[in-house]
Chain A
């Protein structure tokens, strides 16, 4: 919800922090309102699904071979981005999403980036068309407010800018290198 105009997790907002001033509670900004404080989540759910935020393997390992192992250093690479709780405060803080609702948005891109960084994942090529789309990372103008309001310390703005760098590198490799840089 919006508390005094700021996106806020109201389950962790305390009246003592606002006392004695007035408190204005509004439905989460940038989302269509169903009624009162309830907003429609369909748009976010659809976008979340579009970036395939799960582990993708080209060939699944048989169960008998055990789990996919990971070192602490490999975990550290993406851990921050896996702390997202899908609260959508970043969407409410994002003026780009408010002006251009087709934008895939901060949380979905941060989660796509989280799986792209995961050493167990092989789904980069499947997520790349969604991220490199005109309504993907390139719609972002780096206002940076998404990272400011995140209650879990995730930095979606960083995930988006780093995805831009990765996407640009990919494009240059495909244009400049023989056989599109593929081995």
Chain B
């Protein structure tokens, strides 16, 4: 955040209370969305450690995978999954606002842009799932 402004004498500068995000359900949902990033970041660190253990050999990886089977880690992954889904859905819902798609002189309706983003997400997810099932 930027530096505070210089305050003029004779004026009252109200301060935003630390609980500002509890006053409006939209502010609250915004803050929840910001918090989801923390869980996704932790998940990515775990994933990196997992890859590192994989590079150390099958025994090291098996030991690490075993540790991830503890109830605490399973609960963390469930929460991270829910947050990742919330973050992704809200992200795709916003594409209609951010991305203006034009065909000739006409603007594609934002709802169609959002639907396209969800369809692409679904297709990529399905492709990865199929790849995974074919390997298994």
Question: Chain A interface (Cβ within 8 Å of chain B)?
Answer: 5, 29-30, 32-34, 40, 43, 73, 95, 98-103, 134-135, 139, 141-145, 148, 155, 157-158, 161-162, 165
Among listed B16-24, B57-65, B73-81, interface-contacting one: B16-24
Question: Chain B interface (Cβ within 8 Å of chain A)?
Answer: 1-5, 7-8, 10-14, 16, 20-21, 23-24, 26-27, 30, 34, 94, 97-100, 105
Contact of A33 among B11, B16, B100 (CB under 8 A): B11
What chain B residues lie within 8 Å of A141 (beta carbons)?
30, 34
Nearest A residue to B105 via CB reads A73
Interface of B, helix, strand, loop or mixed by DSSP: loop
Per the bound structure, the CA–CA distance linking A124 and B98 in Å amounts to 19
Give A66 Cβ to nearest chain B Cβ, in Å.
24
Per the bound structure, the CA–CA distance linking A155 and B13 in Å amounts to 28
What chain B residues lie within 8 Å of A155 (beta carbons)?
97
Q: A148-B26, A158-B97 are in contact. Are A95 and B21 (CB under 8 A)?
A: yes
In the complex, are the beta carbons of A101 and B4 less than 8 A apart? yes
What chain B residues lie within 8 Å of A165 (beta carbons)?
98-99
What chain A residues lie within 8 Å of B3 (beta carbons)?
102
In the complex, are the beta carbons of B2 and A134 less than 8 A apart? yes
Per the bound structure, the CA–CA distance linking A148 and B21 in Å amounts to 16
14 interchain pairs, CB-CB under 8 A: A98-B20, A100-B1, A101-B4, A139-B2, A142-B94, A143-B27, A143-B30, A144-B26, A145-B24, A157-B97, A161-B97, A161-B98, A162-B98, A165-B99
